[in-house]
Structure 1
Amino acid sequence: MQTGDDSKAPLERYLGATIRELRQRHDLTIAQVADQAGISRGMLSKIENAQTSTGLDVLHRIAQALGVSLSSLFRNFDVPQGDAQLVKKGAGMEVVRKGTKRGHTYHLLAYDQGPRKAFEPFLITLEDEAERFPTFEHPGTEFIHMLKGVIEYRHGQQTYILHPGDTLTFQADIPHGPERLIKTPIQFLSIFIYPPGTAE
């Protein structure tokens, strides 16, 4: 039986799916939960299938039978749908940047949409100890987090020895770049954070 108020349908579907998921997660049967909540098995089945609406008192008893609070049944209702961008391991787009040579790869890990870009996260791998690097300059801030290897990295007139777990953050409009590859292979995350209004 469908209720006449269509505005309740999304909530009924959400509650039904949530109750069924909790019941199955705890390996409980409809009969066990219905008996514990003091309602008929048919009623619980209709609630799970969004075929009927019910009051807060009944929902409270169902929640108790499931071992959760009443508020937890509503916790994720009407939460905005996520729009995250997932890039699986090894699937980042390989890009060519100034100084890119053999044994020096950039993988872009997210693709900013629209006419302006806010940030660019790269996974950078350096393998050739004999490689010479140009200096880089670009707007905004750069954040580096070392994952593997040891590198000497230059920013302006200063150089820094970076080991796995180290981070380096700096203004990117000052000349910077790898000075010396101490222990290869080297891998680090490099995140460019651009100031507002930076065009692609």
Structure 2
Amino acid sequence: MGNTIRELRQKHGLTIAEVCDRTNISRGMLSKIENAQTATSLDTLAKLASALGVSLSTLFRNYNMPEGDAQLVKSGEGMEVVRRGTKRGHTYHLLAYDRGSTKLFEPFLIAMDDASEAFPTFEHPGVEFIYMLQGKIEYRHGQSTYLLEPGDALTFRGDIPHGPEKLIELPIVFLAIIYYAAPPVES
């Protein structure tokens, strides 16, 4: 809460002395409140909120909020992985890494630049989503083929054989996300 008070005070361009004058709180006490070195009453918090021009609930906006747990993979830093059947001219960059006991999804950035390569077929659990970024490709899923161009999206069951059929315009870059069904929760 102290951080919130300090941030609001600084955002409004107020000094500690100005807030103290508005609230009749000593500078030492306000400093201790901002640095989380003391507890304070709701009455004092209400005075601070008023002096900062916000509601009392605004002071509590970050109270008991869970820590963020985001994972950032900067451009070009995705872990390069080798998938079964991939050879020269193919790169797979994994864009997020599993951090728990259950794999929920795998996002890949896939680039292809070699038209002479024979392509494997893939089968895996879950659902796959492909979003084309660059180039043109004919992509097979089961007995059907689909022409994919930049901006196109294809979603399909992963347990049906699938994979590139024909590279039409190089280079080809697409995002492929495999979503795995969550395991059933035991009661």
Normalization by structure 1: what TM-score? 0.80
3-state SS of paired residue (1:129): coil
Q: Which of 93, 97, 106 in structure 1 is aligned with 2:79? A: 93
Q: Distance in 2 between the 1:164 and 1:52 partners?
A: 57
| 1:119 equivalenced with 2:101 (yes/no) | no
Alignment of 1:18-37 (within 5 A): 18-37=4-23
Indicate the residue corresponding to 2:116 in structure 1: 130
The one-letter code sitting in structure 2 at the alignment partner of 1:16 is G
1:174 to 160, 164, 168: 160
Query: 102, 116, 123: which one pairs with 2:88?
Result: 102
- Seen in structure 2, the aligned counterparts of structure 1 residues 36 and 115 have a Cα distance that, compared at 3 Å, is closer
Gaps of 5+ in 1: 1-14
Cα drift, residue 115 of structure 1: 5.7
- Change in Cα spacing, 1:25 to 1:149, as seen in structure 2 (3 Å) is farther
Corresponding position of 2:36: 50
Give the number of equivalent residue pairs: 183
**Alignment partners' CA distance in 2, 1:145 and 1:68:** 44
CA distances 1:32-73 after superposition (whole Å, capped 9, x unpaired): 222233433333222112333222222122123223221121
> CA shift at 1:144, angstroms?
1.1
Distance 1:163 1:33, change over 3 A: farther
RMSD of aligned Cα (Å): 2.1
Q: Contact between 2:86 and 2:120, CA under 8 Å: does it hold in 1?
A: no
TM-score with structure 2 setting the length? 0.85
Aligned to 2:170: 184
The amino acid of 1:79's aligned partner reads M
**Structure 2 stretches lacking a partner, 5+ long:** none
